[in-house]
Amino acid sequence: MATPTLIVFAISHYCEKARWALDYLGVNYAVKHIAPGVHHQLAKKLGAPGSSLPILVLSGQGDQEFIQGSSAIIDWAEANKAADARSLAPQINQQQALDMERRLDDVLGVHVRRFYYSEALVDYPQSVRPIFTRDLTLLQRWLVTAAWGGIRKRMIKGMDLGPEQGMQSRELVVTEMEWLDGLLADGRSFLSGDTLSRVDITAASLLAPLVQPEQHPAYGDIQIGPKVAAACKQWEQQTCLQWTRAIYQKNRG
């Protein structure tokens, strides 16, 4: 089998989720960073139903086979994991675990992102560009820099960003963190069962922008606006964020 290629935006927490799972499951793959905008062309060329990343391209030739979406990529990685890798499949309550992963993806992930971008892209767009140009080819870096105004506008419209929207998302992030804190209140190490599972990787990746763990492959130089920075400071001792730090430390080599 040709080495699969994971197409990512460095900043994306869903891309981090897929990347972490592939690493943990010992899959041999390459990472390709892509410019926003260029990713639309790639998704179209592949025949993907939507344009969102991550996408795992499986065939080296013709680019016909691909998997789109972090959860589907984990399903594939689980079926193709290294012989000596430990599984990320939840060992008990599989349906409950699936529901938790879906809630994390559809609510927490979306609103952490909207809370962050509602400040960063609206008020401090230049702070976002470096992470979007990170690890791109020279040509794509130039393209992003030249088209930054338009990219920013499309992202603001696409994610419905703004000061009020940021506050709404902040509230929803608080609600979701309280839900996670409730689950972790009995001192358990993992969200589902007694071993690290894909639910843990999902929660920790999607919370990582609020924690910026040093083990994260891309957040080393991310700049956070003052409102989001103040919230992160206020939430520092929150159980699920401390848990995220610990999960990263122990499981993201």
Residue 75 binding ligand GSH, by CB under 6 A? no
Dihedral sign of CA atoms 99, 16, 120, 230 in order? positive
Output phi, psi for 170, to 5 deg: -55, -45
Cβ atoms within 10 Å, residue 208? 25
What's the CA gap between 20 and 26, in Å, rounded? 10
Q: Which of 5, 12, 165, 197 binds ligand GSH (CB under 6 A)?
A: 12
Distance CA 42, CA 4 (A): 15
Token match 């040509």: residue? Answer: 139
90 binds ligand GSH (CB under 6 A): no
Rounded to whole angstroms, the Cα distance separating 86 from 33 reads 27
| Binder among 4, 10, 14, 88 for ligand GSH (CB under 6 A) | 14
Q: Is 9 in the site for ligand GSH (CB under 6 A)?
A: yes
The residue whose two tokens read 């609020």 is 210
Q: Is 169 in the site for ligand GSH (CB under 6 A)?
A: no
44 vs 250, which CB is nearer to ligand GSH? 44
Shortest distance, CB of residue 40 to ligand GSH, whole angstroms?
6
Question: Quick one: 113 or 152, whose CB is closer to ligand GSH?
Answer: 113
Contact code string over 99-138 relative to ligand GSH, x by CB under 6 A: ------x-------x-------------------------
**Would you count residue 69 as binding ligand GSH (CB under 6 A)?**
yes
Among 52, 87, 145, 189, binds ligand GSH (CB under 6 A): 52
Are 25 and 88 a contacting pair, CB within 8 Å?
A: yes
Q: Which stretch in 19-27, 68-76, 146-154, 221-229 sits in contact with ligand GSH by CB under 6 A?
A: 68-76
**Backbone phi, then psi, for 57, in 5-degree steps?**
-90, 120
Within 8 A by CB and 6+ apart from 105, the residues are 14, 70, 71, 202, 206
Q: Which range, of 24-32, 48-56, 87-95, 219-227, touches ligand GSH by CB under 6 A?
A: 48-56
Binding positions for ligand GSH, rule: CB under 6 A: 9, 12, 14, 51-54, 69-71, 105, 113
